[in-house]
Structure 1
């Protein structure tokens, strides 16, 4: 028998949760404080990345963050500020950044990414969203220095050991695979296991499909509180009304920590801001790539090329820092000397907030505190990649099925 499920949050994770809950026969309402036309689910690099096996909370990242703290153009930027929640998160991040914990996370990240990779293919083949871009050309890791080569090679070897497809390309091979654009790079690692999409194409189609299929999509409506009775969430209270529910899914990205507090649950999350510049003119780029020294992602999307990057911890805000946009444009020119991003293209840059957990793993699963509350958040840079897998796992949980993956590593109740 289907349940009455409230999904709070209309990003890729929330909509994928609604998609699979609908497939399981549940009555679904999605509530989002925005009109679901902007944010991280629209401005991301569109990658589906089994190759991204190393969590953000890796050894040395806190040291890098401290080093870069006073450089507003650095790839990993933490704005100096007095914020108790941020201090706690940073301490948990530091505790998670050990070789042993990273090694334990690697197969977990790989498995859920491969699951999502298969599900994107299934969604395309189902015809539910029509014919959308889903290309499996892989991902180039372009580097210019010996230091970055030495940094990425162990990752590539780990990926190969996990049976992921990896190639090593010299400059001649790079020109063969990407012939229509000049690239200034020493060499590249080609993760052939990866794929990419156009988020601004997928999100509207997913919204439309859900609406047409009977999901109640409530936009521009903020969730304010919850009615609790004997360990069960009975109602979701919003700025426009009150909704009774059998189950609740919290998929509100960077805002999840605040909602969790209303339920007396500690869910450490920090907003990691990313930026994107879209170039609608021809660039000659046909392969997705990461410019390693600058940590800038490059994606050939339907109708434009997207350049995205930076991880900025400055709290929840939508401020566009011009210096960070300029840094992306500068990196593009350094790697693609024939491509110059214009002032107008930079002025149209957008940002989005990615929810980052302290250990780099998302929160997926039920809280022990409530019988009918499920979290689906904290995906950091992999929200787009892991949207379908997360939605499928959420639907299996709520349908009282055994999830196809062990959710223990993703528990919202885990200790740091």
Structure 2
């Protein structure tokens, strides 16, 4: 049955929901408070990464995060502050940092990530899109034996899950990228991963949706809801009231503030990530993560992007120059001949990724609101999981069998 659907949020999650709901025959409106030309959906590393099986909430992460708390240059930085939502989130995050949790979620993450990766190719083929989609895999470049051993353990986990992954010697890596001098001792290689240029995909998807009749309302902020008997009756924006049959909350790091207006408590923290990029030839031809530095390096159409850090410091767009410097310096430690200029660092951008306490996205309907479907909390996997989340949201709203088991993604799950 054709329904009128409002999607709150115009990032990759929201637009993917719009795409699949439109394809299913629904009338779709997307509302976003921004110009829809920046943020996490545009500045990410572009990875489609089933290799990322381990959630952020893994054993030892909270302990390491506390050690890093006083270092504004650290890969994971949690800004100390007295905030009740941060305290609740931190408590739940710490409870999730167990090996049992990791083992439980690995199969679910593999399934939804492979689905997301493959849907990018399907969308490109079906709609005739031209965005960059390369199947070169992902290198994990290591400078220490300890890190190389740890990454080797992750290769074994991936192999057990049926993903293509293997260890590489330094000579094998140099043969793959002969024009990029490297300072490493070895690497792992996840052939299962693909990569993209995010802005190109987002622009093509927006153009397609508008041409197909999907209404996109930019620079319009949702500020409240009308609710009767556990049903949303309207959304109130800073411009007018809008009514629909179904609503989708895909507002990223802002979703928890909006959900509280509906008496739904989504534990979320905004995890800021940064990107720096250069148009100077680097010789880097394969997507690579600098394992110890936790920096992503991606060859994109016309430039090389360096992205990284997870800064949990509330919702803000402030650029911390210390973190930008840390990315630039980290890249040069692994690629000694690659230099990021002061001008390129000055053009750094950031985006906020919504992070749940257990590292798993929230996808599905809460028992507290019958005509609301939630789609947020994807952390660093938002780009990979955009299309798969959109497809699952469409299946939830159409009340059909979901493509993957969704229990671990339920918005009402307990921590």
Compute the TM-score of the two structures, normalised by the length of structure 2: 0.99
Aligned residue for 1:232?
231
State the alpha-carbon separation in 2 of the partners of residues 373 and 367 from structure 1: 7
State the alpha-carbon separation in 1 of the partners of residues 339 and 303 from structure 2: 15
1:170-185 equivalent positions in 2, closer than 5 A: 170-185=169-184
Aligned residue for 2:410?
411
Aligned residue for 2:111?
111
The gaps in structure 1 that reach 5 residues or longer are: none
State the alpha-carbon separation in 1 of the partners of residues 166 and 146 from structure 2: 19
Aligned residue for 1:120?
120
Aligned residue for 1:156?
155
> What's the CA shift for 1:150?
2.3
The SS at the match of 1:351 is strand
> What's the CA shift for 1:183?
1.1
Aligned residue for 1:64?
64
The SS at the match of 2:77 is strand
Pairwise CA RMSD: 0.7
> What's the CA shift for 1:127?
2.6
Matched, 1:29 2:29: yes
Cα-to-partner distance string for 1:101-125 (whole Å, 9 max, x where unaligned): 1100111100000111110110111
Aligned residue for 1:347?
346
1:7-406 equivalent positions in 2, closer than 5 A: 7-128=7-128, 130-406=129-405
> What's the CA shift for 1:231?
1.2
The SS at the match of 2:375 is strand
Greater mean deviation of Cα atoms: 381-390 or 166-175: 166-175
Greater mean deviation of Cα atoms: 218-227 or 396-405: 396-405
Cα-to-partner distance string for 1:180-202 (whole Å, 9 max, x where unaligned): 11111110100000000000111
The gaps in structure 2 that reach 5 residues or longer are: none
Greater mean deviation of Cα atoms: 150-159 or 62-71: 150-159
Compute the TM-score of the two structures, normalised by the length of structure 1: 0.99
> What's the CA shift for 1:179?
1.4
Aligned residue pairs total 415
Cα-to-partner distance string for 1:167-221 (whole Å, 9 max, x where unaligned): 2110111111111111111101000000000001111111111001000000000
Cα-to-partner distance string for 1:10-45 (whole Å, 9 max, x where unaligned): 000000000000000000000000010000000000
The SS at the match of 1:101 is helix
State the alpha-carbon separation in 2 of the partners of residues 33 and 265 from structure 1: 21
